[in-house]
Amino acid sequence: MVAVEEGPTDGYWCITLQPNITTNWRQTLLIYSAIATALLSVAVALSLRGLWPVLVYAGATVWALGWALYVSAYRSNEWDVVNIRGDFIEVRQGRRHGEYRWMLQTYWTEVALLPSGHRWYPSRLVLRSRGTAIEIGHFLHDRERAELAQLLRRCIGPMGGSVRRV
C-alpha cells in the first residue's frame, strides 16, 4: 500500500509504504486456537484408539501453522516512509518499534528500479546516493513498485533535478 501526501509548501512530499495485510493479532490467535483445538482433539481421540503417530503429525502441523501465522503477523508491521523536503530526502524504515533512518541530498540521489535476474523474482527499487543504496518497498508488487519509481523520479528528478509538482 502506497500513501502519498503533498505538503502545504511546494516541494514537500511524504510517501508512506506498508504491506497490504489487514488481519490483526487477536483475530489471528482466535482462528489459530480454533484450528489447533479441532485438530488436536481429533488427534488425541485417534491416539487413544492406538493410532499414536497421528498425534505426532498433528502436533507438527499445529506448530508449523503457528509459526507461519506469527511470521505473517510480524511482517505486517513493516513500513517505509520517504520524506522529500527541498534539497533533502529522509528515508525511514522499520517495524513496530525499531527504526532505521537515512538523510540523502536530492542532488546526488538516483532512483533505480533494478530488474531481477529471473522472472520469478521481484524487481528492486533502490535510492542511491554517494555510495549508499537503500532498498524501499520490498513488500510491494512489481506494478506498485514501478509506479512508485515513476513518482519518485518526478519528485526527486534525474540525479540532481529539483523537486517538481506532479
**What pLDDT digit, counting tens, does each position of 76-94 carry?**
888 899 999 888 999 999 8
Identify whether residues 91 and 151 lie together within a single domain. Answer: yes
pLDDT of residue 157: 66
Same domain, 143 and 83: yes
Q: What is the DSSP string of 5-71?
A: EE-SSTTEEEEEE-------HHHHHHHHHHHHHHHHHHHHHHHHTT-THHHHHHHHHHHHHHHHHHH
Decide if 162 is inside a domain: no
Q: Which pLDDT score is estimated for 10?
A: 65
Give the separation between CA 157 and CA 155, rounded to whole angstroms.
Answer: 6
DSSP state of 131: T
Same domain assignment for residues 56 and 130: no
Q: pTM of the full predicted structure? A: 0.71
Q: How many CB atoms lie within 10 A of CB 120?
A: 5
Q: How much is the pLDDT for 32?
A: 95
Q: Which residues pair with 126 in a beta bridge?
A: 112, 135
Is residue 147 in a domain? yes
List alpha helices for 79-137, DSSP H.
none
Does 165 reside within a domain?
Answer: no
Its domain, for residue 131, covers 2-20+79-156
Same domain for 62 and 95, yes or no, is no
Is 86 found in the same domain as 129?
A: yes
What pLDDT, in 10s, does the model give residues 108-132?
A: 899 999 988 888 888 899 999 988 9
- Indicate if 13 and 86 belong to the same structural domain: yes
Amino acid at 83: N
Domain count, the chain: 2
Distance between CA atoms of 62 and 31, rounded to whole angstroms? 12
Q: Decide which of 33, 59, 75 is a domain's last residue.
A: 75
Q: Is 60 exceeded by the pLDDT of residue 164?
A: no
Q: How confident is the model at residue 3 (pLDDT cuts 50, 70, 90)?
A: confident
The side-by-side arrangement of strands in the sheet containing 109-114 is 109-114, 124-129, 132-136
Q: Is the per-residue pLDDT at 136 higher than 90? A: yes
pLDDT attached to residue 148: 92
Each residue of 34-80: pLDDT tens digit?
A: 999 999 999 999 999 999 999 999 999 999 999 999 888 888 888 89
Query: In the beta sheet, which residues pair with residue 84?
Result: 13, 89
Does residue 10 lie in a domain region? yes
